Amino acid sequence: MARQHNVIGMLFVYNHDGGYDEDFNKALESINPSQADVAENDRVGVFGPKQVIYLNTIAKDLLLAQTKKGEIGTDAQVQFHYPNLQTIRFAKTTSTIANLETLLCPWVVIHYTQPSLGLSPVGYFVYYDGRGSSVEEFQYLLDYLFKYQIATDNVKISIRMVWACADAPAIFDRAKNNYADDYWPIANVSPEQVRQRMAKISLQVVTSLVPRFSEVELGMK
C-alpha cells in the first residue's frame, strides 16, 4: 500500500568566489513553475547567493553572541519565535528548529532566556534583511513587534541588519519616535509606557560574512 507524503526541499544556489552581484530573485521570477520537475503537493525553497550570505551571517552572529564576552552569554537558551496566530493562549510559539517559511521571511525572530531567571524571554534578536531606507519600512517592523506582543515591558530587542543603508540608524530613530506618538492612543497605554518599551529596542548593523571556496581544493576533491 502506497503511503501519502509531501516533500519539502531546500535548494541553495551559490557561486564559489562569492562575487555574484546580480539580482537572483529577478532571474528566479522569470522561470515558470511548470518547468520544474516537482510533484504537485511538494515544495522547494530556493536560496540564492544573497540569502546564503544572509543566513550564514545570522549563524555566525548568533555563535558570537553566545560566547563568554557575547551579548547573551554562554548559558542562554536560544529558540526561534513564531507569532501566536491562534486564540489558544497556551499555543507553543517557540522552537529550536526554523521552518522553511521562517528562513524565507524578511525577518527572523529569535528569543533567548536565562535559566537562572526562569522561562520568560529576556530578549529578542530580530534579523532583518531590508535596507532600512525609509521610516515606513521600520514602522512596519515595529508594528509587527507590538502587534504580536514581542515588544513588552522589560524585554530587550536588538534589530540586527545585514544590508543596512548608511542612514538606517538615524531613520530608525525617527521611526521609533513617530510610532510612539501614534501607538499609545490606540493601545490604551500611557505615552511613558510606550517610550520605555521603545528605549529597549535598538538597531545593530551586522557585518556580512561571505563564504568563499577554494577552486583548487574543490578541484582536488
Domain ranges of the chain: 49-205
Q: HSE on the CB side for 85, CA within 13 Å?
A: 3
Average pLDDT over residues 81-101: 67
Q: What is the pTM of this model?
A: 0.80
Q: Residue 86: which pLDDT band, with cuts at 50, 70 and 90?
A: very low
- In tens, the pLDDT along 57-74 reads 999 999 999 988 888 888
User: Three cell numbers at 154?
Assistant: 522589560
- In tens, the pLDDT along 37-61 reads 777 777 777 888 888 889 989 999 9
Other Cβ atoms less than 10 A from the Cβ of 192: the count is: 9
User: Distance (Å, rounded) from C-alpha 221 to C-alpha 210?
Assistant: 22
Q: Residue 154: which pLDDT band, with cuts at 50, 70 and 90?
A: confident
pLDDT at 135 over 90: yes
Average pLDDT over residues 18-27: 72
With b for 16 or more beta-carbon neighbours within 10 A and e for fewer, the 103-112 pattern comes to beeebbbbbb
User: Distance (Å, rounded) from C-alpha 52 to C-alpha 209?
Assistant: 10
Q: What is the largest CA-CA distance in the chain?
A: 65
Average pLDDT over residues 188-200: 85
Per-chain mean pLDDT for the chain? 81
Average pLDDT over residues 13-34: 73
pLDDT at 87 over 50: no
pLDDT at 15 over 50: yes
pLDDT at 179 over 50: yes
Higher pLDDT, 118 or 122: 122
